[in-house]
Amino acid sequence: MNLLATTSTVVVSSYALLSAVYKSVQAFHASPTRVSSVSSDGGGPESMPSVDVIVPCFNEDPRTLSACLESIASQDYVGQLRVYVVDDGSGNREDVAPVHHAYAYDSRFNFILLRKNVGKRKAQIAAIRRSSGDLVLNVDSDTILATDVVRKLALRMQDNEIGAAMGQLTASNRSATWLTRLIDMEYWLACNEERAAQARFGAVMCCCGPCAMYRRSALDLLLDQYEAQFFRGKPSDFGEDRHLTILMLKAGFRTEYVPDAYAATVVPDRVGPYLRQQLRWARSTFRDTLLALRLLPRLDRYLTLDVIGQNVGPLLLALSVVTGIAQLALTATVPWWTVLIVASMTMVRCGVAALRARQLRFFAFALHTPINIFLLLPVKAYALCTLSNSDWLSRKSAKAESQPDPIRPSGSAVPIRSSCRPTSSDTTALAAASDAD
């Protein structure tokens, strides 16, 4: 029994030491004074690169899609802008048709209707192969862009060594439930701690799918590899953003984070969909971490610490919880050292986040700790044991055909005249995020 108590103490102390070192170094590199900014002066239309915006859609709510397209149409970008909306075999195509028709006379918009659902990655590729802009901006159909997102990302991409760049994500439905508020804080931390620190060394490890820009010349080199990702002989569809980012780094390009390019996306408002999303993300992270390990020798040593912190840290926390529960069950003694360490680490992190964001709401992020311990860690363990499973988990539809099929675009939507113009989207989350910084 003494051995069990000693093991519990050693494991949780190791977790605390690793987390303290990792988070301290991360906070240092993620500080605003160390994150590069872009010039607001990009010159005239002739000096700005052409941008193609790719929006894959599958069974999207018409109001959500309308808000997304409205935010793209309202961009203040002076360069050439083209938009490719790809309907990935949706079962609700009749419902979203008025949204398509509302932009039928906007020469910037093109609509590609796939006959069958082929998955987000192949839907993106269908549009990328049809487009020809200097830069490609992938946008999820449930995401609203601030009016200056394209301009700010394009300005950062003027450095030819940069292959990809992402903006800052917020939750557009932040006020919906306690879970959406928690996820919004989680997004802030992921962007302004993790990505910001990685960007200090030009190696953001995942340019997130809702809003990420890529260099066309780099995409041309990597598109076949991106399309044909396999894991243990099975095609992989999810985790496309992380995989494409790793391919960019592998090809020698830098990947960046632009903190003042805001995009608000819809996040899960219930625990079930949230856990399915986390399971999908965990599988993607584990798969591409194996590929990323080969990159570490040529990247800054911080990135090695980052990989260790993100993968070994949760493992030590899980072992701490398991040994603590075993100690409680077998000896009827409370593992007070484990409880004290975890509680202390939680409050320190929340306090630092509240100070950096200048928002007291981050103290409520303490709720994430029990969720992480009792829900997310088991999900990650299950993901590790089921890495070969490539089910999307949230894309099933009784009306849509879900089996992959060769891409056979049916062409653009017929430009039917319509007076149904989408209303302006609710940009509350974007404004709140901008004011916070």
Per-residue pLDDT at 238: 73
Quick one: DSSP state of residue 406? -
41 confidence band (pLDDT: 50, 70, 90):
low
Q: Taking Cα atoms as reference points, which of 409, 136, 147, 111 lies closest to residue 262?
A: 147
Q: For residue range 423-432, list pLDDT tens digits in order.
A: 443 455 675 6
Tell me: pLDDT of 98 over 50: yes
The CATH number of 38-269+409-436, from 3.10.20.30, 3.40.1190.20, 3.20.20.70, 3.90.550.10, is: 3.90.550.10
pLDDT of 40 higher than 70? no
pLDDT of residue 396: 47
pLDDT digits (tens, 9 = 90+) for 314-355: 999 999 999 999 988 988 888 999 999 999 999 999 999 999
pLDDT of residue 83: 98
SS3 state of residue 72: helix
Does the pLDDT value for residue 421 go beyond 50?
no
- Give the containing element (helix H, strand E) for 330: helix 301-331
Average pLDDT, the chain: 87
Question: How many whole angstroms separate alpha carbon 212 and alpha carbon 191?
Answer: 13
Domain-wise residue ranges, the chain: 38-269+409-436
* pLDDT given for residue 415 in this prediction: 32
In eight-state DSSP terms, residue 270 is S
pLDDT at residue 35, as a whole number: 54
For strands 254-265 and 143-145, give the pairing.
antiparallel
Mean pLDDT of the 245-254 span: 96
Distances (CA, A) of 381 to 317, 322, 336: 12, 13, 25
User: With bands split at pLDDT 50, 70 and 90, how would you rate the model's confidence at 405?
Assistant: very low
Residue 433 is predicted with a pLDDT of 61
Of the candidates 396, 404, 410, the one whose C-alpha atom is nearest the C-alpha of residue 118 is 404
Residue 155: closest CA among 201, 213, 198: 213
% of the chain with per-residue pLDDT over 90: 73
Mean pLDDT over 198-217 rounds to: 96
Give the separation between CA 273 and CA 267, rounded to whole angstroms: 9
DSSP 8-71: HHHHHHHHHHHHHHHHHHHHHHHSGGGS----S----GGGSPPEEEEEEESS--HHHHHHHHHH
Amino acid identity, position 189: L
CA-closest candidate to residue 269, choices 190, 173, 371, 362: 173
With contact defined as beta carbons under 8 Å apart, do 238 and 387 qualify?
no
pLDDT at residue 389, rounded to an integer: 79
- pLDDT band of residue 388 (cuts 50, 70, 90) is confident
Give the pTM: 0.87
